[in-house]
Structure 1
Amino acid sequence: MFQYDLPYYFAGLPFTSRQVPRKLAWLLARGEIRQVLKGVYVDVRVPDSPELRADALQLVMPPDAVVCGQAAAWLHGIDTTALSPEPTIRPQWTFQPRPTVDVRGLKVTTPAATAVELAMRLERPFALAAVDALLHARTVTLEQLHEASAAYFDPSGNTQAAQILGYADRRAASPGESWLRLRLIDAGFGAPDLQIRVNGPRNSYRLDLGYPTRPVDGRRLGLEYDSDQWHSGSRAESRDENRRTELESLGWHIIPVRRTDLWGSYPALELAVGAFLCQHPRLPRRW
């Protein structure tokens, strides 16, 4: 049997809930379809791709509208984790004039315009994660962002968007790293360095972020965002512990950070970092 011998829904193309109104819940419960974006579904065997995302948006976009906001970032290749706490993107469009590019037959705000608008409108942690992700994907540069921002706000001001563009860094490799960096900046510790390479006698390591130029008692502070996907289970935890032990021997104090440490209400992260750096964090937390 070939991989796709079984029938697709609508030949493997995305479809809306109106096309299968009585069977939608049944198909979802059986795990035969998944939601691509709000109100649009596809066979689970169809992999995510730029083509699929564009086809899904084509089903719900009004004629002559411009895809914008989170939907535009998603179409430019950014995963939903960087854009929203919700796992599924909502279609977003505008009829207002915007700088646009053609993406598989859709008019979409340019990566620079998309990043600036998200920096203005998303909650701060997701604003930074989205801009970092667009920079990391090399769909836009910082220079292009600053040029585009002049059409939206005064780049020299102290608005949220100006702050986010000032913090943005293409070296951030995941939304968790962006959130963690923002927490450290908000606490008054200053912007940490990113993707720090540490060479040992047997292995070389790369730390998500840290403060290599601020040693305390001969040790430097490094922080690592440990996602649930890659750092859960006894084998992963043992590997991480061995890694931290060797980094300690190389003069690094490592603070591992999980998603619950970033989104909980208690400022344990700020207190731990402040205790090492001998600096009172700026509290209360901003998010």
Structure 2
Amino acid sequence: MRGPFIGSEALSRGDLTRHELQRWFTWLLPDVYIARGVMPDLRDRIRAAWLWSGRRGVIAGVAASAMYGADWVDTETPIELIWRNGRPPKGLIVRNDTLAPNEVTKIAGIPVTTPARTAFDLGRLRSRDEAVARIDALLWTVPSALHEVQSVIDRHPGLRGVKRLPIALGLADGGAQSPKETWLRLLFIDAGLPRPSTQIRVYDGRRLVRVLDMGWEKYKVAAEYDGDQHRTRRTQYVKDIRSKRALARLRWESLNVVNEDAPTFIVDWAARTLAARGWCPGDPD
């Protein structure tokens, strides 16, 4: 057994002796074990949490989004469960919330909140910026995640955080590929700049030149967040240089933001570039 598994069940079936359990397996959660030497990944921790609940809990929140393939979820992220238990062990968050039958599905045999319910919980239980980033990541892999959210809201109007949920939902955009891209988009919006479009496909004739992180097509201004891969991977660096040359030929202005850039500098840079292309504050997006 690689695990995770419930130790008492393995003992009662005769799969292991108590000595073998203690020698060859490592404790993950109360009565939940994994093979010694195996470093549990996020899926292992999610399964362990569900087993700890006696297979009665429902995986929710960030852990649920990871089950749908959302990125940017750290292995050590607390696992959220909807279940009745007031004293969860370290690494678990348990909420005694109400779930409608149609708000639960199964992935790999584990009960998980549906995409709509997952987005609902992500949006109401976190700060605005984190909520938007988490919903963005979910939408990247499940574009239809928001289709049934209003029905979830209608069923649970009194749950904590529901009143602020529309703000996060209104700002969410499935075109963000990373939390930093979400951060950059929100920076522009909060500064009063036009809301940028995401995943803009730029063609030279019929040839696709580049898919831009975000930008303003009306003004031919692009904004992209350059992470470490743009600097450390030679092939990516060369590809970026060539596509930027093509964008310049097509009269696109590209704002390439790096981690060291101050927010005030970024906003001023974008505002000046948009103004040079004909945008005026107060113009409709």
Give TM-score scaled by structure 1 length: 0.68
Write the distance in 2 (CA, Å) between the matches of 1:173 and 1:122: 20
Write the distance in 2 (CA, Å) between the matches of 1:111 and 1:130: 12
* Aligned residue-pair number: 233
Q: What does residue 207 of structure 1 align with? A: 212
Matches within 5 A, 1:48-197: 52=44, 55-79=47-71, 81=72, 88-95=76-83, 96-98=97-99, 99-138=103-142, 140-153=144-157, 159-197=163-201
Write the distance in 1 (CA, Å) between the matches of 2:133 and 2:194: 18
Q: Cα gap change, 1:67/1:277 in structure 2, threshold over 3 Å: closer, same or farther? A: same
Q: Cα gap change, 1:33/1:258 in structure 2, threshold over 3 Å: closer, same or farther? A: farther
Opposite residue 246 of structure 2, the aligned amino acid is: E
Structure 2 unmatched runs, 5+: 7-21, 28-36, 84-96
Q: What does residue 242 of structure 1 align with? A: 242
Write the distance in 1 (CA, Å) between the matches of 2:67 and 2:208: 39
Q: How much does 1:247 deviate?
A: 0.9
Given that 2:143 and 2:174 are in contact with CA atoms closer than 8 Å, whether structure 1 keeps it comes out as: no
Q: How much does 1:138 deviate?
A: 2.3
User: Deviation per CA, 1:189-211, whole angstroms, max 9, x where unpaired?
Assistant: 13211211222266522211101
Opposite residue 2 of structure 2, the aligned amino acid is: G
Look up the SS of the partner of 2:79 in the other structure: coil
User: Deviation per CA, 1:156-189, whole angstroms, max 9, x where unpaired?
Assistant: x995421111122233333333222222211211
Write the distance in 1 (CA, Å) between the matches of 2:118 and 2:162: 20
Given that 2:140 and 2:175 are in contact with CA atoms closer than 8 Å, whether structure 1 keeps it comes out as: yes
CA RMSD of aligned residues (A): 3.3
Given that 1:54 and 1:104 are in contact with CA atoms closer than 8 Å, whether structure 2 keeps it comes out as: no
Q: Looking at CA atoms only, which structure, 1 or 2, has the larger radius of gyration? A: 2
Q: Cα gap change, 1:257/1:160 in structure 2, threshold over 3 Å: closer, same or farther? A: farther
Opposite residue 187 of structure 1, the aligned amino acid is: A
Q: How much does 1:123 deviate?
A: 2.7
Q: What does residue 24 of structure 1 align with? A: none
Write the distance in 2 (CA, Å) between the matches of 1:61 and 1:230: 43
Q: Cα gap change, 1:103/1:197 in structure 2, threshold over 3 Å: closer, same or farther? A: closer
